[in-house]
Amino acid sequence: MTALLVFLGAAAGAPLRYLVDRFVQSRHDTVFPWGTLTVNVAGSFVLGCLAGAAVDPATAALLGTGFCGGLTTYSTFGFETVRLLENRAHFHAVANVVISVVAGVGAALLGYTVLADL
């Protein structure tokens, strides 16, 4: 049953990742990967909310592992950072790493704090 919940969550998260990434990136005329940053920070916030709410295992599988796992993308983050380095966009590559880590951890902490206090 857990595998089915993960599958269903990912079936919603992965297409949403693609749509949000393309939507956000199309509005920025820069090499910086704003779309990937957006989905990763949003997913970190949702995962932080789930952790703060101490949801049951089924909800954690559906939304945490499935949806957030499908929504966020570490592999694309890594690929885009390497691509920036290869294209000698060193400032953007470093900024991508720093902003992604700080914003992701901050979003998760914010989500956790908001729901842990309820």
Secondary structure class of 118 (helix, strand, coil): coil
**Annotated binding residue at 70?**
no
Q: Which residues of 63-84 are buried (b: 16+ CB within 10 A; e: fewer)?
A: bbbbbbbbbbbeebbeebbeeb
Residue ranges of alpha helices (H) inside the chain are 2-25, 34-53, 57-59, 69-71, 74-86, 90-116
Is 73 known as a binding-site position? no
Q: Hey, what are 36's tokens? A: 């990937």
User: Would you list which residues are annotated within the binding site for Na(+)?
Assistant: 69, 72
User: Would you list which residues are annotated within the binding site?
Assistant: 69, 72
